[in-house]
């Protein structure tokens, strides 16, 4: 099953490689990994999307906690949470497609952020599955390139990951 794991980690050189190295060394899946500094510049917040049986996820959490630089680990799937990902898609927008592209973009609440002679660049945010759905709804031949940030996640309401 897919899990989204949030990690607070010391903002130090090499911290990312410790986490990435742990996943590759122990053969765990990474679907996506995002990391950036938090409001406290000594800490980074990382979101990892992974999958595995309950036993594997339990080991992943334990192994992450064992890393010296890791301050806190939270499996967001243990409660309610929000997941968001940003995607930029460049699509063909020749005259006969322009209207349809605009319509599709509106349906998914995306924004066209760059317009050129033959193409649009669309910005879309949402859960990973929403972004997948958008890609699927487009004809493959109109997509010129896609870039996704990977998911960020945060607990709902009182669920706060903080030291």
- Say whether residue 69 binds another protein (CB under 8 A): yes
- Say whether residue 162 binds another protein (CB under 8 A): no
Q: Which of 36, 62, 80, 106 binds another protein (CB under 8 A)?
A: 62
- Say if CB 52 and CB 102 are below 8 A apart: no
Q: In the window 114-143, what residues touch another protein (CB under 8 A)?
A: none
CA 5/CA 63 separation, integer angstroms? 13
CA 25/CA 39 separation, integer angstroms? 31
- Say whether residue 65 binds another protein (CB under 8 A): yes
CA 146/CA 27 separation, integer angstroms? 27
Q: In the window 7-26, what residues touch another protein (CB under 8 A)?
A: 9-10, 13-14, 17-18, 21, 25
Q: Provide the 3-class DSSP secondary structure of residue 69.
A: coil
Binding site for another protein (CB under 8 A): 9-10, 13-14, 17-18, 21, 25, 55, 58-59, 62-63, 65-66, 68-71, 163
């Amino acid at each position: 099953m897919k899990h989204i794991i949030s990690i607070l980690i010391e903002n130090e050189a090499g911290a990312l490689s410790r986490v990435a190295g742990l996943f590759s060394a122990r053969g765990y899946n990474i679907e996506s990994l995002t990391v950036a500094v938090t409001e406290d510049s000594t800490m980074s917040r990382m979101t990892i999307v992974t999958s595995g049986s309950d036993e594997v996820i339990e080991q992943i959490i334990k192994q992450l906690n064992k890393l010296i630089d890791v301050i806190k680990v939270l499996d967001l799937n243990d409660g309610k949470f929000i997941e968001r990902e940003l995607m930029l898609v460049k699509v063909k927008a020749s005259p006969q497609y322009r209207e349809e592209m605009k319509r599709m973009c509106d349906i998914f609440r995306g924004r066209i952020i760059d317009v050129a002679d033959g193409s649009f660049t669309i910005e879309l945010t949402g859960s990973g599955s929403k972004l997948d759905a958008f890609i699927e709804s487009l004809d493959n031949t109109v997509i010129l390139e896609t870039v996704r940030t990977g998911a960020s996640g945060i607990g709902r309401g009182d669920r706060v990951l903080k030291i």
